[in-house]
Copies of this chain bind each other. A is one copy, B any other.
């Protein structure tokens, strides 16, 4: 039989999914691997979920991979209102600024508020958990969010490292530390590649 859902519930959820479509029009500083154009945050979210699916064995003890994937699917929705704040922009200061965080929290209120109450609250809580980066699931999700642009930069000849004149040391502190925290086995290998790119000692 037809599962129970009031028509209003379904209407609200389809409305949320239509609003989510706008994430495909939010462009990031990072390009596609082939350098042909900037990546948008919708396809970025897909790619990260695929990273989790393929690299899940690199997660630490106690990580729930299905939950990490759900987290990654919603982690950038707030950018529909706020836009993407590149990690290396404003000399690395804008990304985690209080202003950005407040704007993103307001966006989470609005967007997840489009959903029926219980479901909206659950997804908003999942987004806050990702942002806080304290639980094992969030730490692993963040590590993937940080390493995927590194791979794109490596393969496209430098990408945002060139745009924002990033040094090997800035990459270590802004990116490497977070990748290493959640996925040390991945960072071990990817870091070596970045050392070659930056022409610094391994």
Contact = CB atoms under 8 A, between A and B. Distances in A.
B32 A47 contact: no
- Copies of this protein chain in the complex: 2
Given A3-B58, A189-B11, A21 B47 contact: yes
Contacts of A195: none
A24 B43 contact: yes
B47 A22 contact: no
B33 A53 contact: no
Nearest to A12: B54
A121 to B, nearest CB: 14
Given A46-B43, A54-B115, A188-B2, A33 B21 contact: yes
A176 interface: no
Given A3-B59, A54-B115, A69-B73, 18 more contacts: A3-B185, A5-B185, A10-B185, A10-B189, A17-B148, A18-B33, A20-B47, A22-B34, A24-B43, A25-B32, A40-B43, A42-B47, A46-B46, A46-B49, A49-B49, A49-B73, A66-B69, A69-B69
